[in-house]
Amino acid sequence: MRATTRPDRPRRRRWLAAAAAVAMVLGIGVIAGGAPAAPARRAAASGLGKIQHVVVIMQENRSFDSYFGTFPGADGIPMSNGVPTVCVPDPQTGQCVAPFHDTSDLNQGGPHGAVAAVDDVDLGRMDGFIAQAEHAKQGCQPNDPACGGHSTDVMGYHDYHEIPNYWVYAQNFVLQDRMFEPNASWSLPEHLFMVSEWSAKCTSSDPSSCLNALDAPGLPPDFKNPNHRPPPTYAWTDLTWLLHKNNVSWAYYVFSGTEPDTADAEEMATPTAKQNAATPGIWNPLPYFTTVQTDNELGNVRDLADFITAAKAGTLPAVGAASTTTWCRRWSTRTAMACGCPDW
């Protein structure tokens, strides 16, 4: 039995790195929770003048439907009387598996490098997710790019019972149910796109030496073999150069702790590498950009504690981004209860 599909909705992919986004338009510089009284000088502000900060929460390794597929009013999982009307074939059992409410605190998911993504989408049929999860390499070393989990729970979804914080964000702010990831690949290319809108491999500091590299851009030393690889050179222009050129303040905040995900393209291993603001890597690529170096703005890559301090003091930069840690972020094989920041 073939999967019932909707080819016009390609974001329904387990490999989506920037899977769910909630834009929070705030009257003052806070992330969530109780808002302090606005200063008197802003009392007369109206319209866009009332906005001081726009916060966008980006989530890796989850499809939109995995988190918000049953959110009221969202373009999520097709349903009829509360029952999914779509399914994906399971090659091992010959059954067609419909999306199901997964209350499990641990999700294995499947590989989601560029090759796995192509097979997931299967020329628009959107029926390869279970097959890819089942065919993932088993019993391999944690950093093997082909290493997979033991579960085929890719058809599971969560709701407010498991992730109440995310659903509260969606209820109170703006839920982007038609946001598309710009690259069909894993964490490093996704973070390069996030800060520069490109993923490439350069052979020198000359931007003309850079070529498209969707799945294998210049790899930082923290990827697999840190002792035998020089740092990459990201010689193309990143977004911070435009901010620098126009005198717009910015900062990239890094949570000190364990790196937020695995250092492999298939995203199935356990993260153990340490990170801080001085640790460039897969989730902190900006220090490798020649524009950041030549603009003398390496100091704009800061510890996340500085974000909290600036938020309380009302001195946040005009543009900021934060990369968190495993303890504070959802990924494919981490448990919800271990996460101290969001509720999932």
What are the pLDDT digits (tens) for 185-211?
888 888 899 999 999 999 999 999 999
Strand segments, DSSP code E, in 241-334 are 250-254, 257-258, 274-275, 301-303, 319-323
Residue 224: pLDDT band (50, 70, 90) is: low
Contacts of 245 (CB under 8 A, 6+ apart): none
pLDDT of residue 133: 86
The β-bridge relationship of strands 274-275 and 257-258 is antiparallel
Is residue 112 within 8 Å of residue 266, measured between CB atoms?
yes
6 has pLDDT over 60 = no
Is residue 75 within 8 Å of residue 177, measured between CB atoms?
yes
Residue 297: pLDDT band (50, 70, 90) is: very high
87 has pLDDT over 90 = yes
331 has pLDDT over 70 = no
Contacts of 86 (CB under 8 A, 6+ apart): 3, 4, 5, 6, 77, 78, 98, 99
pLDDT of residue 213: 94
C-alpha distances (whole Å) from 193 to each of 196, 222, 228, 306, 315 are 5, 19, 26, 24, 27
Range of weakest confidence among 25-34, 141-150, 174-183, 247-256: 25-34
Q: How far, in Å, CA of 344 to CA of 340, rounded?
A: 8
Closest CA to 150 of 65, 268, 262, 265: 268
Tell me, rounded to whole angstroms, the distance of Cα 192 from its chain centroid.
12
> Considering the entire predicted model, what is its pTM?
0.74
Give 224-233's long-range contacts (Cβ < 8 A, gap of 24+): 224/143, 224/263, 224/264, 231/280, 231/288, 232/201, 232/202, 232/288, 233/202, 233/204, 233/205, 233/288, 233/290
pLDDT of residue 20: 41
Is residue 27 within 8 Å of residue 51, measured between CB atoms?
yes
Average pLDDT of the chain?
75
Closest CA to 28 of 12, 11, 40: 40
Question: Between these two residues, 38 and 55, which has the higher pLDDT value?
Answer: 55
Question: Between these two residues, 132 and 267, which has the higher pLDDT value?
Answer: 132
Q: How far, in Å, CA of 144 to CA of 193, rounded?
A: 24
pLDDT of residue 259: 47
231 has pLDDT over 70 = yes
Q: How wide is the angle at C-alpha 149 spanned by C-alphas 147 and 153, nearest 5°? A: 140
Is residue 3 within 8 Å of residue 87, measured between CB atoms?
yes
Dig out the tokens for 226 from the structure.
């840190």
Closest CA to 247 of 302, 305, 297, 182: 297
